[in-house]
Amino acid sequence: MTTTTHDAAPLSTAPFPREDARSIARAFLPKHVLGNRYDYYYTLTKLRTDPLYPGVLQALRPTTAPVLDLGCGLGLLAHALRADGQALPFYGVDIDAAKIRRGRDVAARTGLADVRFDVLDLGAGMPDHRGSVAILDVLQYLTPDRQRELLDSVIAMLTPGARLVIRSGLADDSSRSRTTRITDRLANLAGWMQERAKCYPTADGLRTQLEGAGLRTTLRPLYGDTPFNNWLIVGERT
């Protein structure tokens, strides 16, 4: 698999240091000592083991455009942005109403400024937005046609200097790709992900669509120490 690389800066492929991860994850502690700590331990583990957020934060630093997070889950990206000193207006949407409710509660309780969350089924329509867009671990839950339609829609949202930031497992014949598919299936069976993965995009397909729309495009592996075939794809509207 080849990459198209325009950014000179090396991509951050390490997860957050342990104390930085704990500092961000503390926002998800329950209000009461005996409350459910599932979200706290999930976010703490995610931040300590997955290089996703350091890579995404690096991709968004050059822009001040508002960011739309499609499939935002609990809104962890908003917390990571603020911890990184990025004050971008944040708008998160997700089909999972329970996660959105918890995300709103945590953001309000911790005083995150300029953030909002909505329940939204991307199959039913797109939110009104102009700026940058993050699509993190979402594309594989859509059919190939719906992936192309979604990307066309979000590319149209990008303002000059804004960025489309995608993290996705990519389809190829590697052992990493097989591990990614198996893990996503287990996440669905366990109930953490409501949707079952339908189709993993390819590097060539993403590159062709983004560059065809005039975006300066970078595709780079974001494995970290994980066994997954995760890549960071960044398209910039120049």
Which parts of the chain have pLDDT scores under 50? 1-6
Q: Enter the tokens of residue 229.
A: 């075939």
Q: Assess contact for 43 and 28: CB atoms under 8 A.
A: yes
Q: Are strands 132-136 and 115-119 parallel, antiparallel or unpaired?
A: unpaired
pLDDT at position 34 is 86
pLDDT at position 1 is 42
pLDDT at position 189 is 79
pLDDT at position 185 is 84
Question: Which of 80, 97, 68, 64 lies closest to 166 in space, CA to CA?
Answer: 68
pLDDT at position 190 is 77
Taken in order of first residue, the domains within the chain and their CATH numbers are 18-121+128-236 (3.40.50.150)
Buried b (16+ CB within 10 A) or exposed e, 92-109: bbbbbeebbebbbebbee
What end-to-end distance do the CA atoms of the chain give, in Å? 26
pLDDT at position 8 is 52
What distances in angstroms separate CA 95 from CA 144, 156, 182, 207, one per listed residue?
A: 19, 22, 22, 27
pLDDT at position 62 is 96
